[in-house]
Amino acid sequence: MPERRHPDWIKVRAPTSPEYHRTKSILAELKLHSVCQEAACPNIGECFSHRTATFMLMGDVCTRNCPYCAVIHGRVRPLDADEPRRIADAVVKLGLQHVVVTSVNRDDLPDGGAAHFAATARAIKSTLPTTRVEVLVPDFQGSFASVETVVTSPIDIYNHNIETVPSLYKTARPGGRYEQSLAVLRHAKETARARAKVMQTKAGIMVGLGERDDELLEVIRDLRAVECDILTLGQYLRPSNDHLPVARYVTPAQFGELRTEALKLGFRHVESGPLVRSSYHAWEHVH
């Protein structure tokens, strides 16, 4: 079956600005990875042009093989202990007031890389104390100890993507479990509250993998039930013919309706649109 064409509202311009090339060169100079590049994000031109990037910790190779994701999988490398310092250097060079740090899944590590996230947050805050730090973390295979390691570091937003509806987990996210991801978000919120820490939680959902609207709304309700503060909703785009096909394209109007429904449930902020990704306009998500 031929790949369906993207609708007109999916189109983006090729990046050409001087700031795009400067951001790219800073990442290369400091030997850093970004999810913008590794996951083939359609917003890379816009974000790099605004001198912002989502840093990807612990290499560019993932221990999982989710069939929707463009990040490569296979044999991983040892952790780079100097990486947190270099990320802090990049934050300074880019002049960021809000930084998003994510990672590949590192199921080979006892803590899933939680201590590396914490070290990165400390490195950034020790250099730029007023810069907000948002972490987009994996599920840590459900380890509450790892969740606590990250939450008790100097972060401002704990982000973990729920990705899709429960009925599609076996197909789209075979290495994860829906209830486990909800539990991780719940525990992050409870850990922060127990320590009187001001911290918001955030989650993202891809649409277009074959979910029903009622399933999607149920996930949104489940996220509010664990007190998730910020929600992102975006269109799944197939990275290649080797990845899961797009089942449907959700229109901008439908994304607007989803945003309205989510806000009624009490989310502090909802970013909803075809090209929205977890860190898209992340600096605007905090109120």
- Answer yes or no: is 278 within a domain: yes
CATH (domain of 197): 3.20.20.70
pTM check: above 0.75: yes
Answer whether residue 118 is part of any domain.
yes
Within-domain flag for 277? yes
Query: Is residue 158 included in any domain, yes or no?
Result: yes
Give the tens place of pLDDT for each residue, 169-221.
Answer: 999 999 899 999 999 999 999 999 999 999 999 999 999 999 999 999 999 99
Domain total of the chain: 1
In a domain, 198, yes or no: yes
pLDDT at 44 over 60: no
For residue 10, is it within any domain?
no
User: Is residue 274 situated within a structural domain?
Assistant: yes
What are the residue ranges of helices labelled H in the chain? Answer: 18-29, 35-38, 44-49, 83-94, 114-127, 144-151, 169-172, 178-194, 213-225, 252-264
**7 within a domain of the structure (yes/no):** no
| pLDDT at residue 15, rounded to an integer | 56
Q: What domain range includes position 202?
A: 16-284
